[in-house]
Amino acid sequence: MDNHFLAIKDFSRQQLQSLLVRAMVLKQEASQNKTHNLLQGKIVSLLFDKPSTRTRVSFESAVYRLGGQVSFMSSRESQLTRGEPLKDMARVMSRYVDAIVVRTFGQEIVEELARYSDVPVINALTDLYHPCQILSDIMTVIEKKGAPENLKIVWLGDGNNMANSWIEAASVMGFSLSIACPDGYEPDKDILEESQKRGTGVITLQNDPLAAVKDADVINVDVWASMGQEEQQKERMKVFQPYQLNNELLKHAKEDAVVLHCLPAHREEEITDEVLEGPQSVAFDQAENKMHIHKAILEQFVNNIQE
């Protein structure tokens, strides 16, 4: 297994499945109050350039629950702000810690850190990808609906970092994904094309939210303007309006469809309060699963377990 976790496409179906299975076991054990020392004596650095609630705290609690220690730093406080090269930072940090979890803007930043780091670098969201999140989302889908191969899974809205990671997951794990987004807001073209070539799962792209949602088992939504796109917020509110997941649209899905949102949610924008708080929403289980997935990822990468 590649010893950095930067993108879903870098892993095989079997490797992703083993992380999912391990996360489910760790969740089950947590419910029985079983304690672990899988990261005893290990230090995990969290280096965050963008805001975070869930990812930061779920990684922190994952490390502590496995017996390790966390060092958190916002890059605003680091010497990067004064021009220190990433390659120097990566080599220095490797001497201090056992893994570096990074949330930042460009994917090239995590790639550069990984190139020069002797310890695993884990992508906790870039403008291009959110790979850890997608594993917790798939774990939630499996818990609620069973194997993704047998489901109609929909991505509704912006073709953003979340959509790109869902596309790669569909291609590697061999399930189908129906994407509906407005013209000009499609997922990354290269990621889509490469995934369509790689995959056994069929990945379709269209503009019509109703056609995409029809008979869906799983519907994923996310904010219309991601972090770093705040100045486009107003324009996006108009363009994305037809993609709002409300009860009217949701009734075209299967009656027992589940709704996923990685959170934070903007109620009455991409999702209505009624749907997010309604019986089909699994967003809060999904948020919990981030912690269990992060435990599985950290255990595997910090301890360099080869699958």
Q: Rounded to the nearest whole angstrom, what is the least distance from the CB of residue 291 to ligand NVA in the complex?
A: 15
CB of 53 to ligand CP, least distance (A): 4
Neighbour tally for 42: CB within 10 Å: 20
Q: Which residues bind ligand NVA (CB under 6 A)?
A: 125, 130, 160-162, 222-223, 226-227, 262
Indicate which of ligand NVA, ligand CP, none lies near residue 53 (CB less than 5 to 8 Å, by partner kind).
Answer: ligand CP
Name the residue nearer to ligand NVA (CB basis): 94 or 244: 244
Residues in the chain: 307
Of the pair 136, 300, the CB lying nearest ligand CP is at 136
- Dist CA 162 CA 134 (whole Å): 7
Q: For binding to ligand CP (CB under 6 A), which residues are involved?
A: 52-55, 125, 133, 262-264
- Chosen from ligand CP, ligand NVA, none, partner binding at 205 (C-beta under 5 to 8 Å by type): none
In whole angstroms, how close is the CB of 200 to ligand CP at the nearest point? 28
Question: What contacts 60, CB < 8 A, 6 or more positions away?
Answer: 46, 70, 72
**CB of 54 or CB of 91, closer to ligand CP:** 54
Task: Tell me how far apart the alpha carbons of residues 76 and 46 are, in angstroms, rounded to a whole number.
Answer: 13
Least distance to ligand NVA, CB of residue 227, Å: 4
d(CA 232, CA 247): 27
As beta bridge partners, residue 259 has 219, 281
Question: Which residue lies nearer to ligand CP by CB, 56 or 152?
Answer: 56
Please, which residue, 94 or 160, has the CB nearer to ligand NVA?
A: 160
Residue least distant from ligand CP (Cβ)? 55
The binder of 162, among ligand CP, ligand NVA, none, by C-beta within 5 to 8 A per type, is ligand NVA
d(CA 51, CA 48): 7
Rounded alpha-carbon distances, angstroms, from residue 303 to 41, 53, 124, 298, 299: 11, 26, 19, 8, 6
Q: Is the bond preceding residue 279 a cis peptide, omega within 30 degrees?
A: no
Minimum distance from residue 180 beta carbon to ligand NVA (Å):
16
